[in-house]
Structure 1
Amino acid sequence: MHNRSAEIMEELKLVVSSKTLDALLPPLIFVVVNGAAGLTTAVIISVAAALLLSLVRALRRQPLKYAFGGLAGVLVASGFALFAGRAENYFLPRILSSAAMLAVSLVSLIAGKPLAALASHLSRGWNLDWYWRADVKPAYREVTWLWAALFLMRLVIQINLYFSADLARMAWANLLLGTPVTLTVLVISYLYGLRRLHQLGGPGAHEFAHGVQPPWEGQTRGF
């Protein structure tokens, strides 16, 4: 149990340390400043905060992709808010993102190429043919359904809060539905996926890559 917990923490460490602050701080600043000083000031300060985070990462020679991604997200969100003159439009890109991810998940399932498998392939570089095996693919298909359920839940909540125009609730909802829920789903996906691969009885990704013949040990780490 200890080994599995350490393994999960190692898998999640990069996700948490790389983008949590970049994704969470500017929106919270926007909401607080908007309530105190208005939309234009909130946009300026939230963009400045995102830019400052990017500069800090650059000075520390840390990976910049999450910081610049966060900066781009803040710029787009600010553009939506300023263009319409409505502070709640700051969160419109997140609604569109949830809708897009739900659509991508469903399309991938219909096409028989589950999003979870494609995401794993891109992040781990395992042989793509391994994912489409009959004794591997069902695990990734089922996890993709879990992701689709998450995106649908997030989208419904975000739309309801958007039309309520309650910025504080929108900010907290996006905060909670962002990193905390995402990490929870990733942990569940990881544990369920490994268990399901074991049940399916197929080879592990490395066994497949090296042409190992059965009986297989199966996937023991990584999903």
Structure 2
Amino acid sequence: MESERSPQENTARGVKSLTAQDFDMLDSVGGVRGLVEAIAPGLIYLVVYVTTGNLTPALISSLSVAVLLVVLRLIQRTPVTMAFSGIFGVAIGLFVAWRSGDASDFYVWGLLVNIAYLVVLALSNVVKWPGVGVMVEILQSGLGATSSSKESPAEDASTNSAAIEGAEGLEAAQSSKISDESTDQPALVWPTAWRKDADLMHRYTVVTWIWVAMFAARLIVQGPLYLAGESAVAALGTARLIMGLPLFALVLWLSWRIIRQPAVSAAPQD
């Protein structure tokens, strides 16, 4: 079955997976490799700290694993966007924990990121520009990818990874909007027509609230554990792992089902 998939389908990760005709939960989080890259540094940190009760070996081992994952991608010449994104968050957590000497501070960056996403997405629904809908429509319109992404599967995979993170895709959109007047291709424009579709707006709004609920659930569970300090590091680390990529994959699948429901229902029955 894997051989029948196109390179684009194999790289439909994160929010990009919500635009796919079919949904694969493992592919949506970057496959087995993406799963390992996202979980390994935090898992190693937790295991080493709980086992030794010492912060220093936990910091060193976690950072070593994160760096190794990036180095492997560089050696194999595969896209490193997601790996670098992972090591960025790990590095911040490790730095904060090292400076404070408190093992629970390894998780503070993740909590702050969840707060930021919760606030932004909640506000986007309040102003009737549901955040998940905006991201999906940008990706579907082509604003989330550069024209060079069509040249090779490797470049396309790299662009898709950037689109998942969001900022890189939007930056590329600004440059791609400036087109040569002598070409026949129309300039890309910011998608707004979807906001006139009441049913689609409703589905995007529901999905965005689901994402808000995901971030809120993480904060409700992990916030008190973080405030409990080092005595709750084992519980906090475990909650972080369970409510991290596995929960995100489940939310992605539910979001895809809601967004794609009309198309799924209209599909011909055998």
Fold match by TM threshold 0.5: yes
**Is the contact between residue 29 and residue 245 of structure 2 (CA under 8 Å) also seen in structure 1?**
no
Question: Counterpart of 1:21?
Answer: 36
Q: Say whether 1:191 aligns with 2:257.
A: yes
SS at match of 1:132: helix
Question: What is the CA RMSD across the aligned residues, in angstroms?
Answer: 2.3
**Is the contact between residue 139 and residue 196 of structure 1 (CA under 8 Å) also seen in structure 2?**
no
Q: Say whether 1:158 aligns with 2:222.
A: yes
Q: Say whether 1:75 aligns with 2:75.
A: no
Residues 164 and 61 of structure 1: is their aligned pair in 2 closer, same or farther, counting only changes over 3 Å? same
Superposed, which structure 2 residues align to 1:43-122 within 5 Å?
43-122=59-138
Residues 124 and 63 of structure 1: is their aligned pair in 2 closer, same or farther, counting only changes over 3 Å? farther
**Is the contact between residue 139 and residue 197 of structure 1 (CA under 8 Å) also seen in structure 2?**
no
In structure 2, how many angstroms separate the alpha carbons of the residues matched to 1:187 and 1:60? 30
Residues 161 and 134 of structure 1: is their aligned pair in 2 closer, same or farther, counting only changes over 3 Å? same
Question: Counterpart of 2:22?
Answer: 7
Residues 196 and 147 of structure 1: is their aligned pair in 2 closer, same or farther, counting only changes over 3 Å? farther
Aligned length: 195
Question: Deviation at 1:193?
Answer: 1.6
Q: Say whether 1:140 aligns with 2:204.
A: yes
Structure 2 residue identity aligned to 1:69? S
The C-alpha deviation readout for 1:78-100, integer Å capped at 9, x for no partner, is: 11101111000001111111111
Structure 2 residue identity aligned to 1:163? L
Superposed, which structure 2 residues align to 1:208-223 within 5 Å?
none
Query: TM-score under structure 2 normalisation?
Result: 0.66
Q: 1:178 aligns with which of 220, 223, 244?
A: 244
Unaligned runs of 5+ in 1: 1-5, 200-216
Question: Deviation at 1:121?
Answer: 2.8
SS at match of 2:197: coil
Question: Counterpart of 2:191?
Answer: 128
**Is the contact between residue 44 and residue 58 of structure 2 (CA under 8 Å) also seen in structure 1?**
yes
**Is the contact between residue 30 and residue 45 of structure 1 (CA under 8 Å) also seen in structure 2?**
yes
Question: Deviation at 1:164?
Answer: 2.9
Query: TM-score under structure 1 normalisation?
Result: 0.79
Question: Deviation at 1:16?
Answer: 3.2
Higher alpha-carbon deviation: 180-189 or 120-129: 120-129
**Is the contact between residue 131 and residue 137 of structure 1 (CA under 8 Å) also seen in structure 2?**
yes
In structure 2, how many angstroms separate the alpha carbons of the residues matched to 1:42 and 1:152? 28
The C-alpha deviation readout for 1:117-154, integer Å capped at 9, x for no partner, is: 12213433356123312332221111101111111111
Question: Deviation at 1:14?
Answer: 4.6
